[in-house]
Amino acid sequence: MMLTQRRLARLSIFVSGAVLTSCGQAKEPPRPSILPELERMQPVFDCIEATPQGANSEIESCAKKGGIDVNELPREPKKADEFKPLIVATWVFFDQDKTTRLASKNLPSMIDYARCIESNAYADRAFASRTAKGVAEAKFRAETACEGHPLSFRGLKPEQATTASDARERMLAKLMAASAINYALEANGWYPDEMRPCIKYLDGRPPSIGCSLNPQPEMASPPPPTGYRPQ
């Protein structure tokens, strides 16, 4: 069967449409995110809220139900499970107010702020630059873009009052946003070596990689006292 000009035109339209449809359905690979892990921590914070303040063993039990050991706080968190103990420990620290306790029902709002920061950071090319300058600029622009969020410190006006509970929730939201940023950098291999801190452990472990990448300047010895003569 010979293809007439009309049939060729129809075939061309069909092929073009199929290609466009295929391109439209193509999806970007999923971006590593710690946020789903934070959402799954809701029962942990519900349990902590229902636990009397200062009941450390019960609080530890709440954390363990979520697979979290609050007695092990990583100094160099990289994996999702290593960020969670830090968040739980900070929550418990902020939840010591005898008059107003932290409300676990507000966890989704804190995570929502972290999601805003993470989304804007991922959309910024400088975020993947693997340089401290680029990452800092991306974080600044992300925080600026999210200043309208209810839990953003940047959105506070000078004349706007804030309660102690509100301030604590803002700080927790900021911690979760920082965790989301650092986890994304680590998971994608974008964390700049120049940003790694130098941590020297007292339990026999070798110093962190940041000590070799970013050696600390040696402290200069103080000058001898006036009139001092070595023996």
Mean per-residue pLDDT over the chain, rounded: 82
For residue 15, pLDDT beyond 60: no
Determine the residue type at 89: A
Residue 77 CB: number of other CB atoms within 10 A? 19
- pLDDT, tens digit, 9 for 90 and up, residues 23-68: 444 566 679 999 999 999 999 999 999 999 989 999 999 999 999 9
What gap in Å lies between CA 83 and CA 33, rounded to an integer? 12
Which tokens sit at 111? 């995570």
The per-residue pLDDT for 224 is: 59
Residue 147 is given by DSSP the state: T
What count of residues does the chain have? 231
Q: Is 26 helix (H, G, I), strand (E, B) or coil?
A: coil
* Reported pTM: 0.77
Q: Find the range with the poorest average confidence among 36-45, 124-133, 173-182, 193-202.
A: 193-202
- pLDDT, tens digit, 9 for 90 and up, residues 105-150: 999 999 999 999 999 999 999 999 999 999 999 999 999 999 999 9
What gap in Å lies between CA 211 and CA 38, rounded to an integer? 30
Calculate helix-pair angle for 42-49, 56-65, nearest 10 degrees. 160
